[in-house]
Structure 1
């Protein structure tokens, strides 16, 4: 490499990265870091194009190709024929760097290991003259980035179940309600919040002991992760209570998602304990509705489910519409905590 490293600029990129304190800001920080490093080590006349892409994003765009709809702005500049190549790379489960020769030029693919919003993602760089030294530098940069990201993400996870924790919930929901959460789909989404509570969990602890109770929590958390979609945000609030935040293309999708999980859970047999059920309360999320208000509505629906037989899913808006609950929203005023 003939380009000399500017140590001051190099240290500034690292300093900016270590300012990040939540994982939703990791991807932009990575792109900023890589743009700067490549401008030093792999300069070329044409602009360097790069992006963090998830498998979910690719599936969404591929599904709309040929429909005549305009591609999401996040994909402007990438040739549509490259989407299938990128999806094939992800489906192989590869954890190795690859370079694809395409009609639009060389695409360099680096696997990513961290994220809250997606499990399968890549760093994609379009660049014609990356040499072995530059590629090695990018890999080292990503290794450092992954180590730092793991510390951030560990701080956002519940120690027992590995699900997101309450602290992370407050931040994620606030971003959604303030319309500051970038959707992975190119069409408007409907957001929902659901509270899950294990039925008769105290009886499980009293009968089998807390170690078995913890095992139920761990296994149930894994079942939730396997049943719900990549990109759904799952949190443990403590004890036997869990919260899910779901983004749906169609507002009826939330019913399908929750009913599918209910059926999967009812069919599952836990070691020593047997069958376990959950009651669920769900409410729609909307702009200018405080996170505590959404939680309270879902909680009211949850307690209605508990009081009316358990092992069921209740939707706050449906309960209000049917006169089974009173709407707690104060019309014309701002509801405070």
Structure 2
């Protein structure tokens, strides 16, 4: 019961997966004990693909599975409907359980390597996961914006703090570069004035869906209020952020909103660093966004690039004082 109490003490979705593993480790040792330690892991499809693509660049803390296991897992994740299964692998019997996701993971599974789980032990795991999924749903709902379903401002502060403390690693390719991006719909007030707030809300909802479809599973997307959105992206290469944002711009350019037609967006972004306060990174991305707005809109501007070109000055925020 203590491990279950520990799970229900979690108040943020990014901490749910470790709490689940702790709970399952405790219960498996009691109800499905075996001589050697039981190996288990939560693994998302995105992490799986990343590991398969970069075997030599994995996080040292990540214990790799045999290569033949990854192909089996990918085939399992590609199925439209998934139920718990047991696979025979070179490393032994591997039990797979589908898992509803937290903020950090989509299309994820719980892996338990065990010589043989009894029907009673499998039922125990599935009941435990039902409890976990119900509780995770409550936590995730509290972290989401009611209209768009994206993460809310309150969750943003927690996520950014974890990234700046190097405590959030959605991929296993290293080193990671983290970027904070601000998206702002161009002339959104004109949309509300011309078509009404219901159509304006529809634009916000459809735009948020397009963002979720275009960006990757592990990318963190927030609605800050009004027509402003924020994204936090982890990239293995500094050029990846440019590719991601250009791909989104292209998708938006081809999309037509009902009644409104084409909608454009201005984007400003800045690189995150452990020695910078969250407010500093946010302010820098906002300065890049403001530059994009003032110089034609419908474009992407990078704060660091603008500084290198002499178009902006470096700013550091300390408390309520901005230093240049």
- 2:233–2:241 CA contact under 8 A, matched in 1: yes
Aligned residue pairs total 320
User: Structure 1 stretches of 5 or more lacking a match?
Assistant: 1-10
Alignment of 1:64 with 2:54, yes or no, is yes
Whole-angstrom distance in 1 between the partners of 2:259 and 2:25: 54
- 1:112–1:120 CA contact under 8 A, matched in 2: yes
Please state how far the C-alpha of 1:259 moved relative to its aligned partner.
1.1
Whole-angstrom distance in 2 between the partners of 1:20 and 1:193: 26
Alignment of 1:336 with 2:323, yes or no, is no
**What secondary structure, in the 3-state scheme, does the structure 2 residue paired with 1:281 have?**
strand
- 2:58–2:172 CA contact under 8 A, matched in 1: no
Please state how far the C-alpha of 1:119 moved relative to its aligned partner.
1.0
- 1:266–1:276 CA contact under 8 A, matched in 2: yes
Deviations 1:180-212 (A, max 9, x none): 213422311111111000001011111111100
- 1:44 pairs with one of 34, 50, 62: 34
**What secondary structure, in the 3-state scheme, does the structure 1 residue paired with 2:180 have?**
strand
Residue aligning to 1:138: 125
Give matches, 1:99-178, under 5 Å: 99-178=86-165
Segment of structure 1 superposing worse, 89-98 or 240-249: 89-98
- Structure 1 stretches of 4+ moved >6 Å: none
- 2:96–2:109 CA contact under 8 A, matched in 1: yes
Give matches, 1:251-330, under 5 Å: 251-329=238-316
- 2:264–2:298 CA contact under 8 A, matched in 1: yes
Segment of structure 1 superposing worse, 149-158 or 259-268: 259-268
**What secondary structure, in the 3-state scheme, does the structure 1 residue paired with 2:173 have?**
coil
Whole-angstrom distance in 1 between the partners of 2:288 and 2:87: 51
Whole-angstrom distance in 1 between the partners of 2:232 and 2:249: 16
**What secondary structure, in the 3-state scheme, does the structure 2 residue paired with 1:252 have?**
helix
- 1:42–1:130 CA contact under 8 A, matched in 2: yes
Superposed CA RMSD: 1.3
Whole-angstrom distance in 2 between the partners of 1:319 and 1:89: 46
Residue aligning to 1:86: 73
Q: TM-score, normalised by structure 2?
A: 0.96
